[in-house]
Amino acid sequence: MDTPDKSWVLITGASSGFGEEFARQYAAQGHSLVLVARRLDRLQKLAVELRQQFHIEVVVEQVDLSDIAAVIRLHQRLHARGLEIDILINNAGHGLQGPFADAPLDAVLSMVQLDVASLTAVTHVFAQSMRMRKRGKILLVASLLAYQVVENLAVYSAAKAYVLRLAEALHRELKRDGITVTALCPGMSDTGFAQAAQQKLTTLLRRVMMKPAPVVRAGIRALRAGRVSVVPGWANKAIVIFTWATPRWLHQAVMSQTMNG
């Protein structure tokens, strides 16, 4: 049997969906965990369950990550406790579907703040500590939508394109410091995301929807292998190949129909 790896994993957005699943899979491997999100009750319940089941250390941090000062304080608090993060799962994110000009500006900007600014800040502060220790692994959760623009998901798909590009550039840049950076690009998956994003679930989307467990397994495997990015699931991989192989007018029209019905 493998010896449990007790190194620390920090997971943002651990109170539901992919984040909760990352916590379960890393706990099963014996890792120590820092769970971050806003809903403290959900984090605490998960922490109690994982400590009992896997006999691991779990630290719960209630943080609103859209506040960049709170991100910096989180990093300082963990550092002051001597708790060094070896694996960062930068997963917290929010979507918003609907016509761009109809959405309230503050809702649009708060999505950019969480999906772009906060993700960049979290990556920055923990990459600095990893660089000093000359080791670390970072996973950025992007999306299949990073590969193409989508009508009525304009800001979200643009934000996720940023995440994918950031991961690809940092993958090269941080390699010399002993740090690997990987982008996970899931397609439609069965988490709390669609509901929070007021996203329409078309018949086709329901058919290709994946469960969080295989998506997270693919992310952990790619991170461990030091890959630059991974698209989980054959249907999602086929969509990326279709995007590369066809002119923009065609794949953009097909994606719009798939996402909007």
* Smallest separation (angstroms) from ligand NAP to the CB of 235: 13
Which residue's CB is nearer to ligand NAP, number 91 or number 180?
Answer: 91
In order of 49, 100, 190, 223, 242, the CA distances from 261 in angstroms are 40, 17, 18, 34, 19
Cα–Cα distance measured from residue 248 to residue 132, given in angstroms and rounded to the nearest whole number: 43
Confirm or reject binding of residue 233 to ligand NAP (CB under 6 A).
no
Nearer to ligand NAP, 15 or 148 (CB): 15
Does the protein bind ligand NAP through residue 141 (CB under 6 A)?
A: yes
Q: Which residues are paired to 137 by β-bridges?
A: 87, 180
Give min distance, CB of 234 to ligand NAP, in A.
Answer: 16
- Can residue 189 be called a binding residue for ligand NAP (CB under 6 A)? yes
User: Judging by DSSP bridges, how do beta strands 58-62 and 85-90 pair with one another?
Assistant: unpaired
Residue 33 burial by CB count (10 A; 0-12/13-18/19+): exposed, middle or buried? buried
The rounded Cα 180 to chain-centroid distance in angstroms is: 15
Q: Give per-residue burial for 184-214: e unless 16+ CB within 10 Å, then b.
A: bbbbbbebebbeebebeeeeebeebbbebee
66 in contact with ligand NAP (CB under 6 A): yes
Q: Is 116 in the site for ligand NAP (CB under 6 A)?
A: no
* Nearest distance in Å: CB 67, ligand NAP: 8
- Name the phi and psi angles at 87, rounded to 5: -130, 125
Q: Does 200 bind ligand NAP (CB under 6 A)?
A: no
Told to check if 196 binds ligand NAP by CB under 6 A, we report yes
Q: Which two tokens stand for residue 154?
A: 């304009």
Residues 140, 184 contacting (CB under 8 angstroms)? yes
**Is there binding between residue 191 and ligand NAP (CB under 6 A)?**
yes
Interacting residue with ligand NAP among 17, 136, 232, 233 (CB under 6 A): 17
156 is catalytic: yes
Catalytic choice (26, 147, 156, 162): 156
Rule CB under 6 A: choose which of 8, 19, 61, 126 binds ligand NAP: 19
- In the bound state with ligand NAP, the residue whose beta carbon lies nearer, of 133 and 261, is 261
Closer to ligand NAP by CB, 131 or 196: give it.
Answer: 196
Q: Give the CB-side neighbour count of residue 146, counting CA atoms within 13 A.
A: 26
What residues line the site for ligand NAP (CB under 6 A)? 13-19, 37-39, 63-66, 91-95, 114, 141, 143, 186, 188-189, 191-193, 196
List, by residue number, the catalytic residues.
156
